[in-house]
Structure 1
Amino acid sequence: MGQKNKRNRSHKPHKTRKPKFQHPGRKNRSNKHDLPADEWTQAQQELDQQLRKLGLYCKEIAGDGNCLFRSLSDQFYGNTKQHSKIRKEICEYLERNRDHFQYFVEDDKTFDYHLSQMKKDGTYGGNMELVGFAQLHGVDIKIYQPGTIYVIEGNEIDNGSTKEVRTRRTLHIIYHSWEHYSSVRNIQGPHSGDPKIISEVNNSHSLVEDLNSKLYSFLSFSQ
């Protein structure tokens, strides 16, 4: 989870250790990653065990504020180098669909402010950016947390026309309690390139349903 890797350690399941983070982006973000050592260790071990049962492990991703975009890049392109491209295209997609996403901005900030900050390298991404990427590329994103898995579905915002049912590609990332994202890999590999995750996971929860419910509640209250 957010571990730093200097020598091919991303090619095998990592050892438990507490990462160091430097996030130059959102200065006012809460420091949830500053957990007591026992809580961090317990969460780490629980997630490691959960992943191992699925034949998976956490690939270390730099904690530089770009971790969400690096994780998506590793899953989508097979490496973390395309994080700037992904950030740019997500921001452009959110801007084009502001009527849908403007209600999901956190911390009492305006949508325009959120977007202006999100365009900057090192700014944390979150649920809105994940939903935007899933919809833009028509993929599902499974988000692993200790004891649970959320699924962001790559449904189009406006689905007025009948579309052919097809199996969407699924990306796999981890969200840690200290507000950090990592990529997921098969224990048996490949450890670089296309992840080719093989995992059958049921009892997952759709984050898109939560967001749509939030939008519905907002619109109902404002009428």
Structure 2
Amino acid sequence: MMGDSSSGSTSWSSQRDTQDDRMIALMLSEEYTNLDGAVARRLSNLAPVPHVPRINSYIPNLNDATLDHQRLLQRLNVYGLCELKVSGDGNCQFRALSDQLYRSSEYHKQVRGEVVKQLKDNRTMYESYVPMKYKRYYKKMAKLGEWGDHITLQSAADRFAAKICLLTSFRDTCFIEIMPRDQAPKRELWLSFWSEVHYNSLYDNRAVPVQQKPKRKHWLF
């Protein structure tokens, strides 16, 4: 009986914590939904390339990566944009999305969890893009430090009803637009993409916010 009581208490505590996580994320999301659109105005003349979800398959060598980074920096300068840099710890895509959603990169675990839930609950939407056992793929993506790819970006667009816009370092593809499927976008998220290496959060260089400390309780994350 003592074991059953302890187990029930732990389960209830876990459910409460999850509900608190989601409530805090919802409040922050609503607080930052109304953006000024400065980045969108800067890139309004660019024609986006259609997005094709895919896994990470090619990591550039040092020379190619250096040239790609120079190209990205030049594009940022041309369009008057600035990166708010996030940690390169394997979670950068989710950190950049977290910053755009909640003005803090520290909610990356919450974002990753929502993206993986979208993948898990909507297998038919993404399975054809995954060249491995699908369950293995989304379980791999659930691990902290696992690099996000273009499938997780599509999942994020669908989960958060967001148009995700990438300013990239690709030689022939400057701007990629990822639209949510089956619904109109309710927000825009802007990321820079140093191709296959790193994501950062993107802003107009006159309006880069100061990253806030996450508004969280001691048990979160």
Matched AA of 2:82: Y
Letter in 1 for 2:129: F
Kept after mapping to 1: 8 A contact 2:119/2:126: yes
Q: Within 5 A, what are the aligned runs for 1:74-153?
A: 74-105=99-130, 108-146=131-169, 148-153=174-179
**Secondary structure, in 3 states, of the residue corresponding to 2:105?**
coil
CA distance in 2, matches of 1:134, 1:167: 8
Consecutive unaligned residues in structure 1, runs of 5 or more = 1-28, 160-165, 195-223
Report the CA distance between 1:31 and its aligned residue.
6.9
1:170 aligns to 2:188 (yes or no): yes
Three-state SS of the structure 1 residue aligned to 2:112 is helix
* Residue identity opposite 1:155 in structure 2: R
Deviations 1:29-80 (A, max 9, x none): 76725422xx444322221221122221222221111011001001111110
User: 4+ runs of 1 displaced by more than 4 Å?
Assistant: none
TM-score, with length taken from structure 2:
0.63
* Structure with greater proportional helix content: 2
1:185 to 2:203 alignment: yes
Q: 1:178 offset after TM fit, Å?
A: 4.1
2:62 to 32, 35, 50: 35
CA offset at residue 193 of structure 1? Answer: 5.2
Change (3 A) 1:49 1:84: same
Query: 1:66: which partner in 2?
Result: 91
TM-score (ref. length: structure 1): 0.63
Identity among equivalent positions (%) equals 27
Hey, what's the Cα distance between the residues in 2 that align with 1:55 and 1:155? 30
Q: Say if 1:30 and 1:63 are closer, same or farther in 2 by CA, change over 3 A.
A: farther
Q: How many residue pairs were aligned?
A: 154
RMSD value over aligned CA atoms? 2.2
Helix, strand or coil at the partner of 2:165: strand
Instruction: For residue 179 of structure 1, report the CA deviation from its aligned partner.
Output: 2.7
